Amino acid sequence: AQTVTQSQPEMSVQEAETVTLSCTYDTSESDYYLFWYKQPPSRQMILVIRQEAYKQQNATENRFSVNFQKAAKSFSLKISDSQLGDAAMYFCAFGNEKLTFGTGTRLTIIP
């Protein structure tokens, strides 16, 4: 079975600082895709960043970047220059046809 573990139920960071959210997963497949989604209080699930497992280069999207370690099955999200609007639940997910989601990390931004 495929599993995703987000070991940090809650994180907080000072505004303008950098924070890293961790994610590990388990799969026997070699080809898959990884995602970070953000869920603000509005409940809308919003894509933050996407990574193809066959690519060694880490994905970057403005202030958001990932550290993808395929051998370690680790996929962490780094948020630079944190902003108040980044406050949300963050979900890590991976898969191919079907996505498996982690339990989420609640991120609080301290003004």
Write out the residues near another protein by the rule CB under 8 A: 32-33, 35, 37, 42-47, 50, 52, 91, 96-99, 101-104
- By beta-carbon proximity to another protein, the closer residue of 4 and 13 is 4
Taking the least distance from each CB to another protein, the nearer of 28 and 111 is 28
We find the least distance from the C-beta atom of residue 111 to another protein, in angstroms, to be 28
State the DSSP string of the chain. Answer: --EEE---SEEEEETTS-EEE--EEE-S-SS-EEEEEEE-TT---EEEEEEETT--SPPEETTEEEEEETTTTEEEEEE-S--GGG-EEEEEEEESSSEEE---EEEEEE-
Closest distance of CB 44 from another protein, Å: 6
Measured from the CB atom, is 50 or 78 closer to another protein? 50
Write down the least CB distance from residue 71 to another protein, Å. Answer: 20
